[in-house]
Chains A and B, each alone.
Chain A
Amino acid sequence: MKRIPGFFAWLFGSVQGHALFFKGITTLLLAAGAVIIMIPLAFMISTSLKDPAQLRTDNNTLIPRKPQTVTIEGESYNLYQVAVDGVTREWAMIKKAPGGMAFFADPARPTEQVQLKLSEQTALFRLDIHWENYAEAVTAMPFLKYLGNTLLVTFVGMAGMLFSSSLVAYGFSRFRARWLNVFFLVLLSTIMLPSQVRLIPLYVFFQNLGWVDSLLPLIVPQFFANAYDVFLLRQFFMSIPLELDDAARIDGANPLQVLLHIILPQARPALVSVGIFHFLYAWNDFYEPLIFLHSRENWTLAVGLQTFDAIYTINTHLVMAVSVLMIVPPILLFFLSQRIFTQGVVISGVKG
C-alpha cells in the first residue's frame, strides 16, 4: 500500500526526517518552557543570597554580585573595563563628569586621568553571595518554634491519618454488609464537600473545648480518617489478592491480624504515597492554621512566614531566605520518592 506523503514528509523527503523534525521542535518547546518555569525559582534562591543593597540598585541582576572596587590612597573606586587607544584595560572610575562622561585612570597611576563616555565602558562585578542572610532570617523570627509546630502537626497528624484511614479502608474493602456500600457512597460524596460549610461550627466546637489557639484542632480530626485517603487506600487494598487473606484465616488469624500482617505490608507503596500527600498538604496548609492559631508561639511555618512578610516586607532577601527553607523539604521529599510519588498522583488522578 502506497503511503500518502504528508506535508512534512514531502518537505523533508522522508518519514524519518519528518519524525526527527518533530522531535527537534518538541525538545525546543520543552526547553523554552522549562526555562520559564525555573526562572521564578532561580529568582527566589538568588534573592535569598543577595546583599540588600543590591536589591535597591540598578545592578539587580539574577546573579548576586557587587561592583569590583580598587582602593587608591584609602579611597574605594569602581573598576571598569575601558578601551583606550584600542587596548582594553581595567581602570578605576575616579569621578563622574557632566554630559554622561567620567574620568578614568590606571589604579597604578591615578593622576593620569582620561575622560571617557561612561555608557560605553563596562563595569566589572564580582560574585557576592551572602549565606549569612539565612542565619539572620531564622533569628529574626522564631523559626525553630514554627518549625517544631509544623513538624508536630504534620507528623502526628500523618500517623493518625494513616492509622485510622487504613482501618476504615480495610473495613470498606474486605467485608460484605448491606450498609457498608451505602456508607462508602456517603464517604465518597464528602470528598467534594466544601470545608467552609462545617468550618464555623467546628470553630465554635473547638472553642468550647478550649482547643482554639492550640495545635489540637489541626491534629485530632486526622485520627478519624480522611475520606480522600480512605478512598485511595481502599482502591489499593482491593488489588491485593483475597487468597492471601484466606490463607491467613485458615491459619487462625483474626481480621485485625490479617490487616496487620497481610494487607499493610503489601500496601506499603500506597501508604507511603498517601503519607507523602498528607505531608505536602499539612506542611503547606495556611487556611486552618490561620483560623485556629492566634498567638505567635503556636503558629506553623506557613502562618509565621506570612506574618514575617507583613512586618519585614522590605527585607526581601530575608523573606525569600525563609521561603527557600520552607520549600526545601517538599522538594527533597519529592526527589527521594519520585517514582512512588508520580504513581500516587496517577492512582488518585486517573482512577478518581
Chain B
Amino acid sequence: MATRFRKPLSLARREALAGYAFIVPWLIGFLVFTVGPMLASLYYSFTDFNIIDPPRWVGLDNYIRVFSGIPEYLMTGDPRQLGDPLFWKSLQVTLYFAALALPLNLLFSFILAVLLNQKVPGVNIWRTIFFLPSIIAGVAVALLWVRILNPKIGILNVFLQDVVGIARPPGWLQDPNWAVPALVIMSLWGVGGSMIIYLAGLQGISTELYDAAKVDGANAWHRFWAVTLPMMTPVLFYNLVLGTIGTFQYFTEVYVATSGTGDPQRATLFYNLYLYQNAFRYFDMGYASTMAWILFVIVLTLTALIFRSSDAWVFYEGQLRGK
C-alpha cells in the first residue's frame, strides 16, 4: 500500500484547482463581509444590544415589538395599539412612495425611450441631456431640490403661482401630505437612468419584426402594441424588480431633505431611515437588526413574487408558446 505512487493531478483536477484559486478573493469576502455578518445580525435580532454592553438574549421580544397589537389596531383603528407604530408608519411611507414613483418612472422613461428611438434631428444631444441628471445623484442633487421645492421662494411654486395660476401651491417638503410627492418629483428628475436601459432594449428589437408587421399591413400603433411592447417586457420587468428593491433602500435624498428626521410629522420616515435611526441614533442595534431581517424577507418575497408573476406577462424572445 505504502509504495503506491501518488497519481499526478489530472488535467481536469488542475483546472478545477486553478479556478477555485482565482475566486478566493470573493470567497473570503463572501464569508467575512456577507455570511458572517448576516448570521451575526440574525443573532442580534434576538438580543438587546446597544454596542457598548455585550448583546443580551431577549428571545422574540424585538419581533413581538413589531408584530404585537395588530388585532387591537384592526378593531379600534388606533395606531397607538401597535407595538411599534413607527415601524408600520415607515412601511406605509415606503410603499406609498413606491406606488407613486415606480409607475410614473416607468411611464416617463418608457415614453422618453420611444421618442428618443425615432430618427429625429439632434437625437444624441437629447439623449445626453435626459441622461445627465441620473449620473449626478446624491447629496448635491437633494440640496438643489430642497431649494427648488421651497414653498415660498422655490422656483417650482413661483412657477405654479405666476404661470399656472395656483393661488396656494403645496408646501411640498414642509407639508406632511405633500412631502412624499415632493420626493417623487425629485426622483423623477433621474428618469434618464431607466430610459437609457429601455432605449437599449428598443434598439435590440430586430427590424425584421417591424418589416414583417409592415408587410402584414400593421400601422405604427399596431406595430407598437404587437412588436415593441411584447419585446420590451423583459426589460420593463427587470427595472420593476430593481425599482421595488431600491425603494426599500431609499435613504440619501430623504436624509438630506429632512436632516435625517423623517419629518414633517414623520411623513417621510422611510423604512431605511427608521432602521438607520434605530441603529445609529438610538443605538438600539438589536431592534435595528430585527428590522434588517424583516427587510431582507420583504425583498426576498417581492423578488420571488415578481419573478413568479412574470410568467404571465413577460415575453422572452425565442420562447415559443405551442398551442
Interface residues of A (CB under 8 A from B): 1, 3-4, 6, 22-23, 26-27, 29-31, 33-34, 37-41, 43-44, 47, 60, 164, 167-168, 170-172, 174-180, 183, 186-187, 190, 192-205, 207, 221, 223-225, 227, 230, 255, 259, 280, 283-287, 290-291, 302-303, 305-306, 309-310, 316, 319-320, 322-324, 326-327, 330-331, 334, 338, 342, 345-346, 349-350, 352
A37 touches B12 (CB 8 A): no
Task: Write out, one digit per residue, whether chain B residues 246-285 have a CB within 8 A of any chain A CB (1) or not (0).
Answer: 0011011001100100000000000010011001100001
B189 touches A37 (CB 8 A): yes
**CB of A211, distance to nearest CB on chain B (Å):** 13
**CB of B63, distance to nearest CB on chain A (Å):** 15
**Interface membership of B139, Cβ < 8 A:** yes
Closest 6 CB pairs of A and B: A224-B29, A175-B19, A171-B22, A177-B16, A349-B197, A198-B37
Bound complex: CA of A54 vs CA of B81, how far in Å?
A: 51
A286 touches B255 (CB 8 A): yes
**Interface membership of B100, Cβ < 8 A:** no
Per DSSP, are chain A's interface residues mostly helix, strand or loop, or mixed? helix
* With known contacts A179-B20, A225-B25, A287-B252, A334–B132 Cβ distance under 8 A: yes
List 29 interface pairs A-B (beta carbons < 8 Å), by A numbering: A29-B115, A31-B126, A33-B130, A34-B129, A37-B132, A39-B155, A43-B148, A167-B22, A177-B15, A193-B296, A194-B249, A201-B41, A221-B29, A223-B29, A286-B138, A286-B255, A287-B252, A291-B280, A306-B256, A320-B143, A327-B136, A330-B136, A331-B135, A338-B128, A342-B200, A345-B196, A346-B196, A349-B196, A349-B201
Closest to A324 in B: B140
**Interface membership of B178, Cβ < 8 A:** no
Determine the chain B residues whose CB is within 8 A of the CB of A310 once the complex forms: 259
Interface residues of B (CB under 8 A from A): 12, 15-23, 25-30, 32-34, 36-38, 40-41, 44, 51, 112, 115-116, 118-122, 126, 128-133, 135-141, 143-145, 147-148, 153, 155, 189, 192-193, 196-197, 200-201, 204, 217, 219-220, 235, 238, 245, 248-249, 251-252, 255-256, 259, 272, 275-276, 279-280, 285, 288-289, 291-293, 295-296, 299, 303
Bound complex: CA of A346 vs CA of B200, how far in Å?
A: 6
B219 touches A6 (CB 8 A): yes
A319 touches B143 (CB 8 A): yes
Determine the chain B residues whose CB is within 8 A of the CB of A27 once the complex forms: 120-122
Bound complex: CA of A280 vs CA of B132, how far in Å?
A: 12
- CB within 8 A of B130: which of A37, A39, A203? A37
**CB of B164, distance to nearest CB on chain A (Å):** 14
Bound complex: CA of A342 vs CA of B276, how far in Å?
A: 34
Bound complex: CA of A208 vs CA of B22, how far in Å?
A: 29
Bound complex: CA of A186 vs CA of B34, how far in Å?
A: 11
Determine the chain B residues whose CB is within 8 A of the CB of A259 once the complex forms: 22
Determine the chain A residues whose CB is within 8 A of the CB of B119 once the complex forms: 23
B44 touches A201 (CB 8 A): yes
Closest to A6 in B: B219
Known: A224-B25, A290-B255, A319-B143. 4 other contacts (CB 8 A): A34-B126, A176-B15, A203-B279, A205-B37
Determine the chain B residues whose CB is within 8 A of the CB of A190 once the complex forms: 30, 34
Bound complex: CA of A349 vs CA of B140, how far in Å?
A: 25
A177 touches B19 (CB 8 A): yes
* With known contacts A280-B135, A306-B256, A331-B132, A171–B21 Cβ distance under 8 A: yes
Determine the chain A residues whose CB is within 8 A of the CB of B115 once the complex forms: 26, 29-30
Bound complex: CA of A291 vs CA of B128, how far in Å?
A: 34
A334 touches B145 (CB 8 A): no
**CB of B148, distance to nearest CB on chain A (Å):** 6
B197 touches A345 (CB 8 A): yes
A37 touches B140 (CB 8 A): no
Bound complex: CA of A60 vs CA of B37, how far in Å?
A: 52
Determine the chain B residues whose CB is within 8 A of the CB of A29 once the complex forms: 115
B26 touches A164 (CB 8 A): yes
B196 touches A342 (CB 8 A): yes
B189 touches A183 (CB 8 A): no
Closest to B25 in A: A164
B22 touches A255 (CB 8 A): yes
- CB within 8 A of A330: which of B135, B245, B299? B135
Closest to A277 in B: B135
Determine the chain B residues whose CB is within 8 A of the CB of A171 once the complex forms: 18-23
B200 touches A194 (CB 8 A): no
* With known contacts A186-B30, A190-B30, A202-B37, A176–B19 Cβ distance under 8 A: yes
Determine the chain A residues whose CB is within 8 A of the CB of B248 once the complex forms: 194
* With known contacts A60-B153, A171-B23, A323-B140, A204–B120 Cβ distance under 8 A: no
Closest to B123 in A: A30
**CB of B241, distance to nearest CB on chain A (Å):** 8
Bound complex: CA of A192 vs CA of B131, how far in Å?
A: 24
**CB of B126, distance to nearest CB on chain A (Å):** 5
- CB within 8 A of A192: which of B18, B51, B245? B245
Determine the chain B residues whose CB is within 8 A of the CB of A194 once the complex forms: 245, 248-249, 292, 295-296, 299
Closest to A166 in B: B22
Bound complex: CA of A284 vs CA of B219, how far in Å?
A: 45
A302 touches B138 (CB 8 A): yes
Bound complex: CA of A234 vs CA of B184, how far in Å?
A: 35
Determine the chain A residues whose CB is within 8 A of the CB of B303 once the complex forms: 192
Determine the chain B residues whose CB is within 8 A of the CB of A6 once the complex forms: 219-220
